[in-house]
Structure 1
């Protein structure tokens, strides 16, 4: 905004109001917008300026009743920025000029020189506005710096300021990244000391640029850094010119790359971190990934993951108030951090929830650690309401070995177990896969069957059989469910229920799945080329869909036998979804990209099936066979199937009822709007792809 568009308020010191009116009139005639306040002397000058909001002072020093020395004395005592212009007689101008300079006046104008007066007032008012703008910018800059410092204190990235290679300041995340307890400890080390020797030479020139002599472009590079304890980690460095306490320096921003092991990089450690909790979750996910091979999800370092949650935290904060409640939660976090110090990786995932990873624990050791935490990590005594026998936290733990699900699924499993414990289930870990969930005591039988499976794989004694999936709505495509049979060396035929469990427990199920998938793709290619419009439903075990490369392997098979993806439907069990939701979501997304269809088997066991349909893009749901048993005489089952069929239709998913036993069940299913049926009543599994009348 220009000076001409703003009104200045002038404080005119003159004993006669007529002189003040003459001055303001002369300025207005020349186009300077101004208001005036006239005072006869300089007493309480500061009060007059503050009360009337004056921008500038015009002092008529030619007035015999004005004491110039008193005016200059009062002016020097002013705190604000208010320019002073003296107006003097021509004969006294030279004498008053020396006083004006000593007193801080901005200019001295001869009386009746209206042109010079206007120029001086316009100039000083413009300068005043620029100074005010500058002060405003400085205040904003200082505010930004304060907020920047506050953000730096709590950011998950390590931030430091260095000058001549020496640390002058660093945030808590930077200290934690390198394993230093305080800034005093870090000041004894140069930044080069924190980098491996072979990379130090290339950084020296960059660090010398911190004197601010040349504001070069920011630098980015990957480094191998060294902690105080001598361990190393990979990090990404961003270095840029900055100022610290008005001194030029370099600002370093350091982010640990995946694979580095840091307990605290949130700017508020896991014990006290009210901020950065999303970052803590991300780092916990990254820590899980360091235990798992990227190619095949094989667990390279078995571990236990614990989820620890303070009981009734919302009630606690309601009863004690937010601030007191948060203080208690922070005290609990401190106690937890002290108890598990050095044991593993601890992250605060929410106000009342913590994730802990400990390597190499078995079931017994994990349970012992959970009991130790529950017994020793307590809220301050005044919050326990006198019940010292009851733990203040719920704990769920989950053991991870062999092949792992997605990191999100692993955390979710521990969290779910913690919630189960809160509802009076025992502390514990579900097995990491169906293999352990179906584990049996008879290891000798497993060993014998495992030998038969290996022999069948090597001598081509595995067989596919097919059971038709019949449409109740007039679909002309022939769909078949692919099932497995095993012919052992004694020519005994084993059904899937006889060997699938031992195959899972023996780590052979993925090899069986791949054999079945490749064989099925070859068969459907032959059938399609022969003119048969059919599709195959193929099961995927947990070990198989946890392998991130399985979809690429399926693509290779499709290309090998010139088969389209939409001829195949891959299915998995509903009970595997909740513990592998992220893994299965990625699987479904990948299968959809190659046009394959996806189905969920044994649908209807989950208490909230609508959530599964919301979370996954499915083409079919196969209801568990128990629904079809005695269906015609069971009103409850009929209502269940009707509800599930309607729910599937809402999500544009086709419904299939398996295990159909009799003709009366078909009438019920058709009435309920079920799309397809499958069962031995219709046709038993057959080695041929022909629907029998």
Structure 2
């Protein structure tokens, strides 16, 4: 609405209602006032203004029965921005004018001058609404600034604020980019010291320019920067004027060039510098991955390990064994001969990246390397047919995990399988009947297409539904915790459970859309329930595709802000079987989720042989034990012992334990004795579309 068309609500302070009605009628005719309320004195002035939503106060100082001093005193105590106009009699003395001005009165108008009063009300109305608009814009600006700082904290680009050439603030990605351990280290370092000499003149020119002289369009160019260890890297710089703590400064955004060479990469295949070799290998993986962790071109990762290296070190001694490993490395370089990017990742391990390989080509390359990469003949065992190395390979396509996770996957396949067994190649499915496999793939594809169509229909027609299952505390916690489950209503009004459509959603690439719908809907429900006075907290599962998306946290922040929900009212949970293969990716994600105060849980906990490694690697709030632990628990001593071990282990890491799948009352006694914190299951309550715990 235009400021010129807005009307003001008036508060009239007078005991003479006839005079006030006359003046009010004139203001209404001019469209300056809409509603009004009259009070005989200034008692409870602040309360009246708040309850009645008044914009302007008109006090009739000419009213002999009115205590003007009390009005001015009460007005001085107001915290609200409400202008006051005094209507006086004709013989206003200088003392009253001074007293009114000191109290903050905006204008004094003689009682007979209706035109002057109209002008005064119009002016004060316009000024008041403009001040309110300015306050609103100021609040929005502060929200935007806060939002920008939150985004800066979680973005993968390096961001720094520079004043007089020095760092005044940086984000974690900036520290990692240059290799600083703490923020204090970089705050004492001039930005020019982090730039190669060839680019220093251009950077110096930008730093010398007053920030007010830089246009709002960022200045951007490519340059070469230098890490704390002296190694160079290419980056793209964007510089723009900004403010930090109300002081003008320069905001720098640095993004590494994927094509920039990794330090000392040329020597890695020959086996020099294992640590640098790993760094360059990880950098090469990242160069294959674009925005949103999407793979620009498919590639294969091979991990090649010298077989029985520990025995060779023991039998031949350190120096002779290392010489042997060096000879093997040279042989490997000759075999690869430009096939891909090769790096030495350890004394006995090598990494290889090859583009555009399918499963069949990767298998053929692994077989060729295994048959040809041999230790020097005079130092090998006499069995000439045995392979001298082990290989694991991992095909990367679609959305990729962190580079560390990709390397770890290939390494696990290498150490977990013997490639000499030709019927069981690492990275491949065990051989089955070709006809049976083709038939199964066709059936799965047809079924997935049908379910994918139902999912798309549900997403576009709001046919996904949330149901909730309570998580009950055994220790007297008053938090209202619920696990969120998703149901799908198709075109024929058939209700599908998650187990019926989640698999096809993953295979058809729709799981991220389902997850986003679930997250936003859950946050909206939390906002509604919290406003209604319920102490609600929801547990939401994230799939692998979703948590690999680096922008998912920013999207979560938007949802939290949209519905005014705090992060600690939301718990994100990950399946344990996905954690081991994505530990590096999840470690970064969990750290970021903690920054926005969200809680983190592992679902189906207890599957891995060494669950303590997960508790050590991730900062968790909860572990949800797999449902099979609760099945027949009261009669199974082994299960009871294992459950006690897991609950005790969780307590050692200050993590709350939740047992799911509880189906009978006898299990509750065992769980309480074992020190389990929470329970969940159909025995307590089946999933329900309502958020009320049933008796």
TM bin, normalised by shorter chain, reads 0.5 to 0.7
Question: Residue 326 of structure 2 is aligned with which of 324, 330, 346?
Answer: 330
Match in the other structure for 1:265: 264
Once the 2 structures are TM-superposed, how far is the Cα of residue 640 of structure 1 from its aligned partner? 0.8
Q: Does 1:387 align with 2:383?
A: yes
- Contact 1:310–1:394 (Cα < 8 Å) also in 2: yes
Q: Does 1:429 align with 2:427?
A: yes
In 2: Cα distance, 1:577 partner to 1:253 partner: 33
In 2: Cα distance, 1:385 partner to 1:652 partner: 51
User: CA 1:301–1:261 in structure 2 vs 1: closer, same or farther (change >3 Å)?
Assistant: farther
User: CA 1:290–1:463 in structure 2 vs 1: closer, same or farther (change >3 Å)?
Assistant: same
Match in the other structure for 1:568: 570
* 1:237-252 → structure 2 map (5 Å cutoff): none
Q: Deviations over 1:553-577 (max 9, x none)?
A: 0000000000011110000001111
Match in the other structure for 1:219: 197
- Contact 2:390–2:419 (Cα < 8 Å) also in 1: no
Question: Residue 277 of structure 1 is aligned with which of 251, 274, 278?
Answer: 274
In 2: Cα distance, 1:218 partner to 1:360 partner: 35
Match in the other structure for 2:686: 684
Match in the other structure for 1:627: 629
Once the 2 structures are TM-superposed, how far is the Cα of residue 218 of structure 1 from its aligned partner? 8.1
* 1:349-498 → structure 2 map (5 Å cutoff): 349-422=345-418, 426-429=424-427, 442-498=444-500
Mean Cα displacement is larger for which, 253-262 or 402-411? 253-262
Secondary structure (helix, strand or coil) at the match of 1:580 reads helix
Match in the other structure for 1:590: 592
In 1: Cα distance, 2:523 partner to 2:196 partner: 54
In 1: Cα distance, 2:389 partner to 2:354 partner: 18
Match in the other structure for 1:147: none
User: CA 1:453–1:266 in structure 2 vs 1: closer, same or farther (change >3 Å)?
Assistant: closer
Question: Residue 643 of structure 2 is aligned with which of 641, 644, 652?
Answer: 641
Q: Deviations over 1:128-170 (max 9, x none)?
A: xxxxxxxxxxxxxxxxxxxxxxxxxxxxxxxxxxxxxxxxxxx
Note the residue ranges of structure 2 that are not aligned, 5 or more in a row.
1-194, 202-221, 236-256, 430-439
- Contact 1:264–1:270 (Cα < 8 Å) also in 2: no
* 1:502-651 → structure 2 map (5 Å cutoff): 502-651=504-653
Once the 2 structures are TM-superposed, how far is the Cα of residue 641 of structure 1 from its aligned partner? 0.6
- Contact 2:289–2:400 (Cα < 8 Å) also in 1: yes
- Contact 2:262–2:283 (Cα < 8 Å) also in 1: no
- Contact 1:344–1:357 (Cα < 8 Å) also in 2: yes
- What's the C-alpha RMSD, in Å, of the aligned pairs? 2.4
Once the 2 structures are TM-superposed, how far is the Cα of residue 388 of structure 1 from its aligned partner? 1.7
- Contact 1:398–1:430 (Cα < 8 Å) also in 2: no
In 1: Cα distance, 2:307 partner to 2:275 partner: 21
Note the residue ranges of structure 1 that are not aligned, 5 or more in a row.
1-216, 224-233, 239-251, 432-437
Question: What TM-score comes out, normalization by structure 2 length?
Answer: 0.62
In 1: Cα distance, 2:379 partner to 2:482 partner: 62
Secondary structure (helix, strand or coil) at the match of 1:387 reads coil
* 1:29-68 → structure 2 map (5 Å cutoff): none
Once the 2 structures are TM-superposed, how far is the Cα of residue 386 of structure 1 from its aligned partner? 1.4
- Contact 1:263–1:345 (Cα < 8 Å) also in 2: no
Q: Does 1:658 align with 2:660?
A: yes
- Contact 2:233–2:263 (Cα < 8 Å) also in 1: no
Secondary structure (helix, strand or coil) at the match of 2:502 reads helix
Q: Does 1:236 align with 2:224?
A: yes
In 2: Cα distance, 1:253 partner to 1:476 partner: 54
Once the 2 structures are TM-superposed, how far is the Cα of residue 314 of structure 1 from its aligned partner? 2.4
Q: Deviations over 1:15-37 (max 9, x none)?
A: xxxxxxxxxxxxxxxxxxxxxxx
Once the 2 structures are TM-superposed, how far is the Cα of residue 219 of structure 1 from its aligned partner? 2.1
Match in the other structure for 1:287: 284
Secondary structure (helix, strand or coil) at the match of 1:579 reads helix
Once the 2 structures are TM-superposed, how far is the Cα of residue 265 of structure 1 from its aligned partner? 2.2
User: CA 1:269–1:465 in structure 2 vs 1: closer, same or farther (change >3 Å)?
Assistant: closer
Match in the other structure for 2:676: 674
Once the 2 structures are TM-superposed, how far is the Cα of residue 422 of structure 1 from its aligned partner? 4.7
Secondary structure (helix, strand or coil) at the match of 2:580 reads coil
Q: Deviations over 1:237-296 (max 9, x none)?
A: 88xxxxxxxxxxxxx9865664237698257441242xx211111111111111111x31
Secondary structure (helix, strand or coil) at the match of 1:385 reads coil
In 1: Cα distance, 2:615 partner to 2:428 partner: 24
Match in the other structure for 1:40: none
In 2: Cα distance, 1:525 partner to 1:673 partner: 32
In 2: Cα distance, 1:430 partner to 1:280 partner: 27
Greater than 4 Å deviation, 4+ residue runs? 252-258, 261-264, 422-425, 438-441
Mean Cα displacement is larger for which, 418-427 or 509-518? 418-427
Once the 2 structures are TM-superposed, how far is the Cα of residue 315 of structure 1 from its aligned partner? 1.6
Once the 2 structures are TM-superposed, how far is the Cα of residue 324 of structure 1 from its aligned partner? 2.1
In 2: Cα distance, 1:655 partner to 1:440 partner: 42
User: CA 1:439–1:650 in structure 2 vs 1: closer, same or farther (change >3 Å)?
Assistant: farther
User: CA 1:430–1:475 in structure 2 vs 1: closer, same or farther (change >3 Å)?
Assistant: farther
Once the 2 structures are TM-superposed, how far is the Cα of residue 454 of structure 1 from its aligned partner? 0.5
Q: Deviations over 1:595-618 (max 9, x none)?
A: 110000000011111111111110
In 2: Cα distance, 1:263 partner to 1:559 partner: 40
Question: What TM-score comes out, normalization by structure 1 length?
Answer: 0.62
- Contact 1:574–1:602 (Cα < 8 Å) also in 2: yes
- Contact 1:331–1:380 (Cα < 8 Å) also in 2: yes
In 2: Cα distance, 1:620 partner to 1:585 partner: 15
- Contact 1:271–1:336 (Cα < 8 Å) also in 2: no
Once the 2 structures are TM-superposed, how far is the Cα of residue 323 of structure 1 from its aligned partner? 2.4
In 2: Cα distance, 1:400 partner to 1:515 partner: 27
Q: Deviations over 1:200-254 (max 9, x none)?
A: xxxxxxxxxxxxxxxxx9824299xxxxxxxxxx87388xxxxxxxxxxxxx986
* 1:290-305 → structure 2 map (5 Å cutoff): 290-293=287-290, 295-305=291-301
In 2: Cα distance, 1:689 partner to 1:412 partner: 42
Question: Residue 335 of structure 2 is aligned with which of 319, 334, 339?
Answer: 339
- Contact 1:264–1:347 (Cα < 8 Å) also in 2: no
- Contact 2:263–2:280 (Cα < 8 Å) also in 1: no
